[in-house]
């Protein structure tokens, strides 16, 4: 049942029963029920719609919402948030729902934001988009633009929404991590619906407290409905040097060389369980246009002697490394969609969406990374990763990360900061019940030690069971400003209860 006009033009009303705290579809003119506001989109209260959005990619936490909104406009979201704030109904927004411990779930209203997915403008150096659009769609459209454009930071998997990754931080998993900052560093302006149901535009100049509390703010202070995002010229091709290691020290020696090398645009790495060879793999990529000279091109070379299809000089890009790379040269979009193809394949073959994913994701300073990886790698068993999981490392220049959120670890003298992921995935959807508990306990144990011994900070996409006190410690000296923004923009504390950040006030 919806409150959208039906084909006959009449309106089926959905109302909230404030006494029973349930939604009703047959109000029989009972005025004790509060009718939901008129909407352009749909408000669904049927079992199928509610159960379809009761979990996320982690398949660990389940919360069945009492109603689902498929908005057609920011006004729909604003009207329903006002309604929910009046009746004390919690509200969560769902992008692609790829967090893994119920961060975007709610027993109240669930907003399915994917229905707002338009590109409002594109070029020459920005795009204004709805927050429910997938990065994939923005990337493809920007690349098809003339001249070719791209967001400067693109997540490894691109079937994620702009609103979702801007709410967690958005690390450039395949494009941009090294020197561009996070996706939140490339937002010029946002349209946001606050917890009072007010539609606001905010930017570094306009309502900066709201802007800073929403970017990387886990949906606590507002629902992002539109974003103005930086675009930069896109290169045509990606040339990746793939290097394998069995030794942690050699791996870090080469990583430290590659991340400082101007010819290299992006670096990430994979860690494999104990007993696997190689145990570490590095991927260093340079983006280039075949028609323009490589960056290490000698300008004194006479034009006739320069081959315009020459890719970057491999010898320069990989000089002084401890091992020989394998070279993988592809088109830019092929490179950007490589993880999408992998995930799409698993979706078809192993029920990827239903597998359990108790993920561990942390930030660490470059000062401790080598020691931490050596320690963690000693504990990694095949069960810790699973046949469809992966463990990843992303280095990035700390000074390019400019927003107050998400919080980062202390620098400890290093200009580099890393994300380390242990993206554990169960072998089957029906993983033995002990599996998830075992991995959540592992995450608790790993995190406590990483925080206490190495100064690690959570990257909140994964499965760490944080208490309100843990969250307060997580935000550290940013807590006061974050809490002030919460009190100001969501005074009824209805927005995004999933992470439990403000549970005790």
Ligand X SMILES: Cc1cc2nc3c(=O)[nH]c(=O)nc-3n(C[C@H](O)[C@H](O)[C@H](O)COP(=O)(O)OP(=O)(O)OC[C@H]3O[C@@H](n4cnc5c(N)ncnc54)[C@H](O)[C@@H]3O)c2cc1C
Instruction: Report d(CA 66, CA 46) in Å as an integer.
Output: 9
Mask 4-43, x = binds ligand X (CB under 6 A)? ----------------------------------------
Please tell me whether residue 98 binds ligand X under the rule CB under 6 A: yes
Counting contacts by CB under 6 A, is residue 180 touching ligand X?
no
Per CB under 6 A, does 55 bind ligand X?
A: no
Q: Which 3 state secondary structure label does DSSP give 118?
A: coil
Rounded Cα distance, 366 and 418, in Å: 6
Side-chain half-sphere CA neighbours of 71 within 13 A = 29
336 in contact with ligand X (CB under 6 A): no
Least separation in angstroms between CB 501 and ligand X? 10
- Does 227 engage in binding with ligand X (CB under 6 A)? no
CA–chain centroid gap for 374, Å, is 27
Q: What are phi and psi of 400, to 5 degrees?
A: -90, -10
Q: Any idea what the Cα angle at residue 303 is, between residues 299 and 305, rounded to 5°?
A: 100
3-state class (DSSP) for residue 339:
helix
In the list 343, 411, 473, 481, the residue contacting ligand X (rule: CB under 6 A) is 343
CB of 498 to ligand X, least distance (A): 5
Least Å distance between CB 160 and ligand X? Answer: 4
Note whether 443 binds ligand X by CB under 6 A: no
How many other C-beta atoms can be found within 10 angstroms of the C-beta atom of residue 389? 21
Residue identified by tokens 């929403």 is 214
C-alpha–C-alpha distance, residues 361 and 97, integer Å: 17
Out of 59, 93, 126, 136, the only residue in the binding site for ligand X (CB under 6 A) is: 93
User: CA–CA separation, 129 vs 64, rounded Å?
Assistant: 29
Residue 238 Rama label (left phi>0; alpha psi -120 to 50; beta): beta
Residue 437 structure tokens: 């508990």
* Residues 474 to 503 in contact with ligand X, rule: CB under 6 A: 496, 498
103 is an interface residue for ligand X by CB under 6 A: yes
- Pick one of 45, 101, 168, 178: the residue that binds ligand X (CB under 6 A): 168
Q: State the minimum distance, in angstroms, from the CB of residue 177 to ligand X.
A: 8
Q: What distance, in Å, lies between the first and last C-alpha atoms of the chain?
A: 35
Pick the stretch among 39-47, 99-107, 291-299, 374-382 that binds ligand X (CB under 6 A): 99-107
Buried b (16+ CB within 10 A) or exposed e, 450-476: bbeebbbbbbbbbbbebeeeebbebbe
Task: Give the binding range for ligand X (CB under 6 A) out of 21-29, 31-39, 96-104, 233-241.
Answer: 96-104
Q: Supply the minimum distance, in Å, between the C-beta of residue 163 and ligand X.
A: 2
Please tell me whether residue 92 binds ligand X under the rule CB under 6 A.
yes
Q: Which of 90, 95, 151, 407 touches ligand X (CB under 6 A)?
A: 95
Q: Which residues lie near ligand X (CB under 6 A)?
A: 57, 92-99, 103-104, 113, 131, 155-157, 160-161, 163-165, 167-171, 173, 218-219, 223-224, 339, 343, 461, 496, 498
């Amino acid at each position: 049942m919806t409150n959208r006009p039906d084909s006959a033009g009449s309106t089926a009303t959905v109302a909230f029963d404030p006494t029973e705290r349930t939604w009703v579809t047959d109000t029989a003119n009972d005025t004790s029920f509060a009718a939901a506001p008129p909407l352009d989109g749909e408000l669904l209260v049927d079992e199928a719609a509610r159960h379809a959005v009761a979990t996320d990619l982690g398949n660990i936490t389940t919360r069945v919402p009492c109603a689902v909104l498929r908005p057609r406009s920011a006004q729909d979201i604003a009207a329903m948030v006002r309604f929910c704030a009046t009746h004390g109904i919690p509200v969560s927004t769902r992008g692609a729902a790829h967090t893994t411990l119920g961060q975007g779930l709610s027993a109240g209203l669930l907003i399915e934001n994917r229905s707002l997915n338009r590109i409002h403008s594109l070029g020459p150096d920005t795009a204004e988009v709805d927050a429910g659009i997938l990065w994939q769609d923005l990337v493809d459209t920007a690349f098809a633009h003339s001249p070719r454009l791209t967001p400067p930071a693109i997540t490894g998997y691109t079937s994620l929404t702009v609103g979702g990754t801007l709410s967690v931080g958005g690390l450039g998993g395949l494009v941009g991590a090294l020197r561009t900052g996070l996706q939140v560093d490339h937002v010029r302006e946002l349209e946001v619906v606050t917890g009072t149901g007010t539609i606001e535009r905010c930017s570094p100049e306009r309502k900066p407290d709201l802007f800073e509390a929403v970017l990387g703010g886990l949906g606590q202070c507002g629902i992002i409905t539109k974003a103005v995002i930086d675009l930069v010229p896109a290169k045509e091709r990606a040339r990746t040097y793939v290097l394998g290691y069995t030794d942690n020290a050699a791996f870090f020696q080469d990583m430290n060389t590659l991340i400082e090398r101007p010819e290299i645009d992006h670096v990430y790495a994979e860690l494999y369980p104990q007993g696997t060879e190689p145990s570490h793999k590095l991927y260093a990529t340079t983006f280039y246009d075949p028609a323009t000279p490589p960056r290490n091109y000698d300008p004194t070379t006479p034009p006739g002697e320069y081959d315009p299809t020459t890719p970057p000089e491999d010898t320069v890009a990989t000089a002084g490394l401890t091992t020989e790379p394998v070279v993988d040269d592809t088109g830019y979009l092929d490179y950007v969609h490589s993880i999408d193809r992998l995930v799409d394949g698993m979706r078809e073959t192993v029920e990827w969406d239903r597998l359990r994913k108790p993920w561990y994701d942390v930030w660490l300073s470059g000062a401790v990374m080598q020691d931490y990886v050596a320690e963690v790698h000693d504990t990694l068993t095949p069960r810790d990763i699973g046949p469809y999981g992966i463990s990843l490392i992303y280095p990035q220049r700390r000074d390019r990360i400019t927003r107050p959120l998400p919080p980062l670890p202390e620098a400890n003298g290093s200009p580099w900061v890393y994300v380390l992921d242990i993206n554990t995935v169960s072998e089957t959807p029906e993983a033995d019940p002990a599996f998830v508990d075992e991995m959540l306990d592992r995450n608790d144990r790993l995190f406590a030690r990483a925080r206490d011994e190495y100064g690690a900070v959570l990257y909140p996409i994964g499965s760490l069971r944080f208490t309100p006190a843990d969250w307060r410690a997580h935000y550290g000296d940013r807590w006061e400003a974050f809490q002030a923004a919460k009190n100001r923009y969501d005074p009824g504390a209805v927005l995004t209860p999933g992470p439990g950040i403000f549970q005790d006030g």
